[in-house]
Amino acid sequence: MKTSKKLTFSLVLTILLLALLFFLDANKAQYGMAYTVLQKGIILAVVAVSMNLVTGFTGLFSLGQAGFMAIGAYITAIFLIPADSIKDVYYISGVSPAILNFKNFLESGPAWTQALIPYVALIIGGLAGALFAALIGIPVLRLKSDYLAIATLGFSEIMRAVISSPQLDTITNGSYGLKKIPGFSSLFQTFMIAAVCIAFMILLIRSTFGRSFKAIREDEIAAEAMGINLFKHKQLSFIIGSFFSAVSGGMLAMFMRSIDSKTFSISLTYDILLIVVIGGIGSATGSIISALLVTASKEWWLRFFDTPLYIGDFQVPLFRTGFRMVIFSIVLLAVVLFYQRGIMGKNEFSWDRIGKRITKLRASMKHTSKEGGSKNV
């Protein structure tokens, strides 16, 4: 396919997406479920791509995403909670004077700086996640396979325990969590932040560093023989993946508007891993598509099965609260059986691939019509 056609199709697709976002923003009350699903789905897409960067492209089986998300979420939330509301949030043990003074300092600045606070908060939350990743990466990245997974999963649970500990009540509000977190101004803002994060990771994957990551994934011994510094590149992948996991945690805090330590339990990491596996381990596009599909299925499409169903006076059995998760599990089982490498495998979105499939479909339809015509004769 010619480059001009690719650019035209990409431009049309972008315009259609922007039109959809602005339409949903303008009709949020009428299409609230679609609005919520798209917002949560694209946030999970960011952390899914970051997990794929570490697991799918570098071959490091890390399960610490929930821990890094918690770091980013709490730092972002502390930045964003208004100063006049923060005492109401920390009503049990009170708020640390340092946080209160910092909040007053932030809100005393010029009006134009207030619009930048959410972006600065997300970046600082990401940097905090990257710092923790750099520290724990020194010992844990020398482990392999299941041992690395267990170590990172342990880190995630340690972070959750530390955040909810009474000793940090004046900072994290302990087990009571943080509330009154300002949300996104629009659906467009959420997609813009997610697009920047995902685009950066895709560019990294396509760079020389990305090729080194893939070489490590395929064969560490061969990669080292080619002159690739294994520990340096593993640590780089782990730190960058953790940075964007923390950013997505901050975005999740803005989406939910209230968080506590239970928000970042092990089940969140498993949900992210599920999205990566369904989309395709080693496919950023697959992670994005899978995040949107899984979120829509769990939060929207399958809710029909949670509502009692009557045919006349007869109540159809099993249609009750929680049954949608049974159906969701069956759908997942079917996807895994028929798409063992995920929806996209290791492939990425490509206009050339779409063009080839359309050409093959047309050729098969012509062949079928010719066969039908010859039989009629």
Hey, what are 270's tokens?
A: 């498993």
* Cβ proximity of 290 and 343 under 8 Å: yes
Residue 302 domain-assigned (yes or no) = no
Q: What is the pLDDT of residues 86-137, one digit of tens each?
A: 889 998 888 999 998 888 888 887 877 888 999 999 999 999 999 999 999 9
| Structural domain span for residue 2 | 1-30
So what's the pLDDT on residue 367? 66
Pair (238, 220) in one structural domain: yes
Pair (140, 221) in one structural domain: yes
Residue 330 domain-assigned (yes or no) = no
Pair (16, 145) in one structural domain: no
CA 244/CA 71 separation, integer angstroms: 11
pLDDT band at residue 374 under the 50/70/90 scheme: low
Last-in-domain residue among 245, 279, 313: 279
DSSP sequence for 300-320: TGGGGGGS--EETTEEPTT-S
- C-alpha dihedral over 142, 145, 149, 150, to 10 degrees? -80
pLDDT band at residue 373 under the 50/70/90 scheme: low
Pair (197, 245) in one structural domain: yes
Q: What is the mean pLDDT of residues 74-84?
A: 93
Residue 44 confidence (pLDDT) above 90: yes
Q: Half-sphere exposure of 228 toward its Cβ, with a 13 Å CA cutoff? A: 25
Radius of gyration, alpha carbons of the chain: 23
Hey, what are 368's tokens?
A: 């079928």
pLDDT band at residue 15 under the 50/70/90 scheme: very high
What is the tally of structural domains in the chain?
Answer: 3
CA 68/CA 356 separation, integer angstroms: 41
Residue 328 domain-assigned (yes or no) = no
CA 283/CA 296 separation, integer angstroms: 20
Residue 368 confidence (pLDDT) above 80: no
* Cβ proximity of 242 and 259 under 8 Å: no
Pair (219, 264) in one structural domain: yes
DSSP sequence for 209-233: HHHHHHHHHH-HHHHHHTT--HHHH
**Widest pairwise Cα distance in the chain:** 90
Rounded to the nearest 5°, which phi and psi values hold at 310? -120, 135
Task: Pick the more confident residue, 114 or 33.
Answer: 33
Q: What is the mean pLDDT of residues 349-362?
A: 79
Task: Pick the more confident residue, 40 or 347.
Answer: 40
Residue 321 domain-assigned (yes or no) = no
Pair (239, 361) in one structural domain: no
- The candidate with the shortest Cα–Cα distance to 17, out of 192, 163, 179, 162, is 192
3-state helix, strand, coil in the chain (%, to 5): 75, 0, 25
Residue 208 domain-assigned (yes or no) = yes
CA 345/CA 276 separation, integer angstroms: 10
CA 278/CA 88 separation, integer angstroms: 42
Only one residue has tokens 């009629």, namely 376
Amino acid at 316: V
Pair (117, 260) in one structural domain: yes
Residue 259 domain-assigned (yes or no) = yes
Pair (137, 17) in one structural domain: no
Q: What is the pLDDT of residues 183-203, one digit of tens each?
A: 999 999 999 999 999 999 999
Pair (3, 39) in one structural domain: no
* Cβ proximity of 102 and 117 under 8 Å: no
Residue 123 domain-assigned (yes or no) = yes
Spell out the residues 6+ positions from residue 27 whose beta carbon is closer than 8 angstroms to its own.
none
CA 126/CA 123 separation, integer angstroms: 5
Residue 198 domain-assigned (yes or no) = yes
Residue 244 confidence (pLDDT) above 70: yes
For 89-103, give one letter per residue: b (16+ CB within 10 A) or e: bbeeeebbeebbeeb
Last-in-domain residue among 234, 254, 279: 279
pLDDT band at residue 1 under the 50/70/90 scheme: low
Pair (22, 138) in one structural domain: no
Range in 75-79, 97-101, 127-131, 235-239 with the lowest mean pLDDT: 97-101
Residue 279 confidence (pLDDT) above 60: yes
Q: What is the mean pLDDT of residues 302-329?
A: 79
CA 31/CA 36 separation, integer angstroms: 9
Q: What is the mean pLDDT of residues 331-355?
A: 82
Pair (11, 83) in one structural domain: no
* Cβ proximity of 305 and 79 under 8 Å: no
Last-in-domain residue among 226, 260, 279: 279
* Cβ proximity of 302 and 74 under 8 Å: no
CA 239/CA 126 separation, integer angstroms: 10
Amino acid at 299: E
Pair (13, 131) in one structural domain: no
